[in-house]
Amino acid sequence: MTNYTPGLHILSTFRAGSDKLTDIQGCRHLFDGLIESLRLTKTGEVYHAFDSGGFTASICLTESHVSIHTWPEFGKATFDVFLSNFLQDNSDKVRHFYADTLAWFEGTEEAVHHVTR
């Protein structure tokens, strides 16, 4: 039997400006572009805008998921990305997805956890 390590899971809380934390369409465009460029497979998605201007998004992937929740009234977001795969190590893709997301939001990390599953 082969040892199986599902992969890297990054969970983060970051600060960002309210212009980015309310830009649900920009975030959707970012995530769709990353999913395509990293050759991931989307199986479903939900984006929901709140009256406060914040939003939540959860994207299911055959590799696992990406999710974000924003609070523009507090200047914060929580984000996580996990890309498991039995045949290959997707850790570099996880790091890439996270780095590009943080850069797009012009975010400043408050907390980040790298969990090897």
The CATH number given to whatever domain includes residue 45 is 3.60.90.10
What's the confidence (pLDDT) of residue 5?
Answer: 74
- Residue 3 falls within a domain, yes or no? no
What's the confidence (pLDDT) of residue 75?
Answer: 98
Instruction: Say how far apart CA 84 and CA 5 lie, in whole Å.
Output: 8
Vertex 114 angle, CA 11 and 76, to 5°: 30
pTM over 0.85? The answer is yes
What's the confidence (pLDDT) of residue 54?
Answer: 97
pLDDT, averaged in runs of 10, over the chain (117 residues):
78 98 98 98 97 96 96 97 87 97 98 93
DSSP labels for 4-36? ----EEEEEEEE--HHHHT-HHHHHHHHHHHHH
CB 117 within 8 A of CB 82: yes
- Segments forming the whole domain that contains residue 41: 8-116
